[in-house]
Every structure is written in structure tokens, then in C-alpha cells.
Amino acid sequence: MLKIEHIAKTFNPGTITEKKALTDCHLHLQPGDFVTVIGGNGAGKSTMLNAVAGTFLVDKGSIAIDGVDVTRLPEHKRAKYLGRVFQDPMTGTAATMSIEENLALAYRRGKPRTLCWGISNKERELYREQLKTLELGLEDRMSARIGLLSGGQRQALTLLMATLQKPKLLLLDEHTAALDPKTAAKVLQLTRKLVAENNLTALMITHNMKDALQYGNRTIMMHEGKIILDIDREAKARLKVEDLLMMFEKASGAGLNNDRMLLG
């Protein structure tokens, strides 16, 4: 479903702030794979996701989604294949627009925007049904502005928006990192549910080692712009957080330096 072939990216090459964010990143995802991504600060986790999303173009290598080479496609043209949820709850939604308008924008992802009216009554019913499944009471506030919602509500809504048009690939960039533990757990539950129901292929970055092992069928670990560990479902089931840390130290030759990493 996703083929990342030896991509590399250096930011600000030739300057004092030069950063080799991705050195030789290589990853293949099967349809239905739900992969959790872990790694230290600056390991290249978000850069890899952004490379797939097209926030920037890679220097080397190629990226294909479901057999389509997207390496040179701009961000907005790749959007039709991708559902995205960001770390910052502010990023995924348009704060000055209403809940239903945001959903309507997401419902048209990858489709031409015409001069037809931006939202139909038929859609509203669909959105109401979908919002009910979030159990946040948002179905009664559909014309409320997004700016009035809490971070957790916004992330839940962004998840719904990302899956409203079934994406080929769901990209989750530490989407629970800015939430309190209780809300984070809820949003993760929702993530699992939506991925399972829609049979989605997903990449999820997390700083929580336990979540990394608990969720998904595969875990990869990144270090210095490369994937240094790839753990499949069976190995995952047997692993504990301590084992994972040991494996990391062995594979990278260094201690894990993620200051936000949660081991519990």
C-alpha cells in the first residue's frame, strides 16, 4: 500500500543549520498494516510522515501509495490518498469555520471544488450520524465554530475528517501528545476503532512505548533518519517496554534520548 524506497532529505544544505533529517529511509506497508513508529528526538519520524504527505519533496528515493508514484506530487494532490491527524490540535481543523463546514471540506478531499453549494442537507444527516459515534455531543453543535472546541474534541473531529473519505493511508503524527492522559486514551481508542472498522492502513508516531506495543500489528523504530528496527505482530506480542529499550540500544549503539518518551 505504501512503498518508501530509500528516501533522503537534508534541510538547509550547506549552511550552519544543515540537518540530515532522513538518510536512507526504506519502508513497505501491506494493505491493512497499522504501524506504530517510535524513536528519539530528531530521529526523523515526523519528517518521514511529512515526506509521505508531501509537505516537502525528498532529495533522493521514491514514494508510492497504492502503486501510484507520488514522489514529485505537491501536497494538495497527494491529499486524496491520505488522511492526516497532526500533533497540534489547531493544525487539523479550520478554527473560524463551523463543525459541519470542516466536515464538508474533508468530505470533498481529493475532489474538484465546484460552484455547487458547499454543504447539502443530505450530507448534514451523514455528519450527524458520524458525530454521534464520537459520543462527544458534537452532533447537536454542528454549526458551532471549531475554535470553541477543546483540544481532545478537535483531535477526535480531525480523526473523523481524516476517515470520512476512506484514505489509502492514515498518517498520525503524535496525535495524542498534546492531550491529557484521559483524553489521549479516548482518542487512541477511537483511532483503533476507526482503523479497524474501515480496514485502514496506518502509520502512527507515538512517544508512548506502551502504546507503541499495544496498538497496531507492527512497530518500527527510527534513529538518525533510518529505520533501525522492524518488529512484526508475533514479536510485538512477546515484547515488553524494557526489551524494546534494550533492542534500541543494541541497534543504535546509543541510549534513547527522547525527553518526552513515556515508558509506563
Q: Which residues contact other proteins by CB under 8 A?
A: 53, 74-77, 79-80, 82, 84, 86, 90-97, 101, 104-106, 108-111, 113-119, 161
CA nearest to 30, candidates 188, 230, 190: 230
Burial class (CB in 10 A: 0-12, 13-18, 19+), 131: buried
**Minimum distance from CB of 206 to other proteins (Å)?**
20
Residue 259 beta carbon to other proteins: minimum distance, rounded to whole angstroms = 25
**Residue 71 and residue 78: Cα distance in Å, rounded?**
10
Q: At closest approach, how far in Å is the CB of 65 from other proteins? A: 14
Q: How far is CA 164 from the centre of its chain?
A: 15
Our CB check for other proteins shows the closer of 113 and 260 to be: 113
Residue closer to other proteins (CB basis): 95 or 148:
95
- The least distance separating other proteins from the CB of residue 153, rounded to whole angstroms, comes to 16
Nearer to other proteins, 61 or 118 (CB): 118
Q: Three-state DSSP class for 204?
A: strand
**Nearest-approach distance from CB 72 to other proteins, in angstroms:** 16
CA distance 46 to 56: 12
H or E stretch covering 99 = helix 99-107
Closer CB to other proteins, 4 or 170, in the complex: 170
DSSP-assigned beta bridge partners for residue 145 = 98
CB of 99 to other proteins, least distance (A): 13
Shortest Cβ distance from residue 221 to other proteins (Å)?
A: 26
Q: How far apart are the first and last CA of the chain?
A: 32
The HSE-up count of residue 242 (CA atoms within 13 Å, CB side) is 0
| Cβ atoms of residues 38 and 207 within 8 Å | yes
Closer of 22 and 53 to other proteins (Cβ): 53
d(CA 180, CA 177): 8
Cβ proximity to other proteins: between 162 and 213 the closer is: 162
Residue partners of 189: CB distance under 8 A and separation at least 6: none
Q: Based on CB atoms, which residue is closest to other proteins, 80 or 128?
A: 80
Distances (CA, A) of 55 to 26, 75, 117, 253: 18, 6, 29, 31
